[in-house]
Every structure is written in structure tokens, then in C-alpha cells.
Chain A
Amino acid sequence: MGIEPDRLHFSWISSAESTKFVEVVTGVTEAVRALGPHQKFVKTNVKVA
């Protein structure tokens, strides 16, 4: 639908897998940071009364 593939990640992490959690979060953060701010799905027409 027009979302960059690197912006969306899926992972399955057990509550016991703290190291994997850290790895995944770091990886996701880096990937998304590389893409820059998300411009889509942002309402630009909103008027605040």
C-alpha cells in the first residue's frame, strides 16, 4: 500500500529472550532511522479550531 518494506518489522520474542529483544529493537530503530520520518499516513489537511 506504499509503506517502505523496511519500516515494518515482525518478530517473535519470548519474555526470556532479552538479548534478542535488544537486538531486534536496535535493528528496527536503525532501519527506520535510515528511512527518515514517515510522511505517509500523516494528516496534513487537519485544521485545528
Chain B
Amino acid sequence: MSNYTDKIREISERLLKEGRVDMVIGFKQGTMPMMNEPCFVKKPEDVSKLVWDSHCGINLANYLTDRKEKIGVIAKGCDSRNIVTHIIENKIKREQLVIIGVPCKGMIDRRKIASMSDAEILSVAEQNGKVIVKTKDAEKRYERTDLLQKNCALCVHRNPVIYDELAADLVEEQKNVDRYADIREIEAMPPDEKWHLFDDLFSACIRCYACRNACPLCYCPTCFVDESRPQWVGKSTDPIDTKTFHFLRAYHCAGRCTDCGACERACPVGINMRLLTRKLEKDCFESFGWEAGLSLDQRPPLDVYKTNDPEDFIK
């Protein structure tokens, strides 16, 4: 991982010195373990702030929306797909970007680590596929592969799909991943059971909208949940309002979501709202053979019309 950091710094310094970009968007060490923060570097002498490790789960495409500068941006597989989506949706221009691709081996699930110990975690480091977690009086080692974020364990696009520079050699993609086992289970449930499942799933939601804010797809100047004239959805934590928010948020991501997991990662109460976005992802794949953000030349399924669309749900 440290060679990733070195390479990222080297590329960033070069881009800034040559004036090819006005800033580089990457990650810096957070104030707490496992909580790296986005970082905007504008001067070559500041590149030493940039780091790379398994806690860079935030999606940096989120910081590109409507920017006018020339930007170097660090991109994992999923980030790169959201960058493609941003370009397709005219939220940034390809010419403005120098994409520093980072072949990704998956991010570590900070909740999994936190749940394994009662004591405060002082540091989390990595060595040869092992994760070393230090608390005040203990040091424990875990297999890295057991600690991946849920979306990373299911990821089939670890390599950036679009890039100008690479911070490391491309990694092998995971094969034969069954991305939708849990979704199929839910699909098979009778309506009442589904209703109760979502009732439970969202019962802890405090409507903080961290999931929405962390998502690069949610860039509307006024989100439907904030609108008051007309008020599309109630603002309370009434279960119906909460569910309406979640169902609609998920629909707004249909055909666009890359399952980057930034939403789930950001949630203070650990809600797995990806159950909704992945259902839509599955539908888009099955109906239209579509995976979001793989190519700049293809329009997303929800903004094309095809005469051969079977539409057999319409009577």
C-alpha cells in the first residue's frame, strides 16, 4: 500500500508542477483510525499529505460536480465509473480531468473492525494481507479478505475503467461473484414479508441524509426531500416518510449506481440501503444488459428509447 502512496504523490507532484492540473483530489489521513478524509492539494509541496490505504472508501467523484478547474482525481474502480457517469450527465468535462487510476483490492469495513473489540481502536495497519488492529492493551491480526466492505467483496470492477495515469499495476478482477443472492431472496418473499423487512431495515434511520450527501449521483441543487413547495415527502422520522425517502432515493440512482458503497459507509447507524440500489442494478442488468459507468459512448438505459423494448408489464 505504501508504494501506492508514493506513486500517487509522485504523479500528483508532476501534474501540479507541469501545470496540467490546478488541484489534485485525493485522500489524507483522518483524525481517527480508518477515517481517511478527502483532500484537495493545490501546491506541489503539499503532495506529502496524500495517502493511500484500505480506508479510502469515500467516493471522490462526489467532489467533481460542476467544478470549473482542471483537476487530477484519484479513482478506484467504482470512483472511475462514477466519473464516467458524471461526464455522461454533463457534471464535469473529460478534458478537465486527469484521472489517476488506482487498481483496488477492496476497502476495509470499519464497522466490522470496530465491532470486534470493546476497547477504543488506536491504529489499524496492514502487512502482507494481514490487518493489524491495535487497542490500548492488545494487538490483533486478521485476514484482510475477511474484513472487506460488503460492496467490495462483491466487486467485479476493481480496476479503473478510465484513467490517464496509474498508481499501480492492474489487479486481477474477482470472477464468479454472485452479486445478487440476497436480492433474489427478497424478491421471492410475499409482499407482506417484504414490507416488514424494509420496515425493520429503515427503522433506525434518523434522516440525517449522510447517505445522500456521500453519493456522487445526488447532486440536484434542491433535493426532493428538502423541497417544501410542493413538499413531496414528509420530513419526520415517521416510518412511512423514511421509507418514501429511501425508495425514491434508490430510484433516482437506477441505472447510475456503481455500488461504490459510500452511502452505506457514511450512515451513522449502519443501514444497508444498498439492498435497494442493488435491486435496481440487478433489474438494469437483466432487462438492458446495463452496468453503470463502464463507457463514455453508451447512453444509460433510462435516457434512451428503443422500439424493440418488450414493455410486457404494460397492458
List chain A positions with a Cβ less than 8 A from chain B: 1-5, 9-12, 24, 40-43, 45-46
Contact = CB atoms under 8 A, between A and B. Distances in A.
Interface string B240-266: 110110010000000000000000000
Contacts of A42: 240
Contacts, number: 36
A2 B194 CA distance: 5
Contact of B191 (A4, A9, A41, A45): A4
Contacts of B163: none
A9 B194 CA distance: 19
A29 B250 CA distance: 29
Given A1-B195, A1-B198, A2-B191, A10 B238 contact: no
Contacts of B193: 2
A9 B195 contact: no
A10 B311 CA distance: 10
Given A1-B247, A3-B191, A43 B238 contact: yes
22 contacts: A1-B194, A1-B195, A1-B198, A1-B243, A1-B247, A2-B192, A2-B195, A2-B196, A2-B197, A3-B191, A5-B191, A11-B314, A11-B315, A12-B314, A24-B315, A40-B195, A41-B240, A41-B243, A42-B240, A43-B241, A45-B238, A46-B238
B171 to A, nearest CB: 36
Contacts of A24: 315
**Interface footprint category on B:** 10 to 19
B307 to A, nearest CB: 14
A11 to B, nearest CB: 5
B197 to A, nearest CB: 8
Contacts of A11: 314-315
Nearest to B250: A1
Contacts of B240: 41-43
Nearest to B236: A45
A9 B315 CA distance: 8
B198 A2 contact: yes
B30 interface: no
B305 interface: no
Interface string B34-50: 00000000000000000
B248 to A, nearest CB: 11
Contacts of A40: 195
A10 B313 contact: yes
Interface centre among B193, B243, B244 (most CB of A within 10 A): B243
A10 B315 contact: yes
Nearest to A12: B314
Contacts of B301: none
Nearest to A27: B315
A42 B191 CA distance: 16
B173 to A, nearest CB: 32
Contacts of B313: 10
Which of A4, A11, A40 has the most B CB atoms < 10 Å from its CB? Answer: A40
Interface string B169-210: 000000000000000000000011111111000000000000
Contacts of B234: 43
Contact of B314 (A1, A3, A10, A43): A10
Contacts of B197: 2
